[in-house]
Amino acid sequence: MGLFSLFSSSRPEQNIEDSDLLRDLPEDQKKYFLKQDLKLKIETKKAESQDELNNLSSKVLQQQQQNKQSKTAHEIQKFEEYRAKNTKRASVLENCSEIQMLLFQCLQNGTYSEKLTMCNVRTKAMFNCIETQRKTLSQLGFETARSIDDAERIKGISDDLFVKHFGKDGLQITDDSIAKHEEALENMQMEIWK
């Protein structure tokens, strides 16, 4: 066991400059041991700093994982709340809301003949919209969407397909428009679930 190890291991809290062992040494040896003691202190401080850095890094990683888990839990809860409010039925009615408004306007302010027939043309358009939207949302997988964005995208596509083939007022119901809608729906199914 060397002289240096006696200084550092026996009393680590004591400074080497205060040690009785250095008193009788020649000046050049004193400087050497003081220099070695300083190196040891620096290396010890570096090791402590590295341990602190590792501990801090570990804590940061744990916090990031907790944040990610809490974010995921929050997103799941948000999606469940969305699902509760945006059922397929509610989405169908949302997509048909303009046609429903036109039907109510017809019933309130329509001509005498429209009121007499209970706005038969608008009523058929409304029922066609409801049935078409219900079918389209089902075929596009609205009920199996995995996120709010996916569900909203499917609702938008369903609405766009209806307006494109039956018009904004839903009155352009022909065999040809129904066939084109069916074909576009099949193509869109493949597009969505690629």
**pLDDT tens per residue across span 71-80:** 688 888 898 9
pLDDT confidence tier of residue 34, bands split at 50, 70 and 90? low
Which of 103, 83, 81, 99 shows the shortest CA–CA distance to 91?
83
Residue ranges covered by each domain of the chain:
1-85, 87-192
Q: Which amino acid, one-letter code, is at 19? A: S
How confident is the model over 67-120, as pLDDT tens digits? 677 668 888 889 899 999 999 999 999 999 999 999 999 999 999 999 899 999
Average pLDDT across the chain, whole number: 81
Mean of pLDDT values over 126-154: 94
Q: What share of the chain is helix, strand, coil (3-state, %, to 5)?
A: 80, 0, 20
Q: What's the pTM value of the predicted model, to 2 decimals?
A: 0.62
**CA-based end-to-end distance of the chain:** 73
Of residues 66 and 171, more confidence is placed in 171
| pLDDT at residue 187 is higher than 80 | yes
pLDDT greater at residue 1 or residue 25: 25
Contact 157, 188 (CB under 8 A): yes
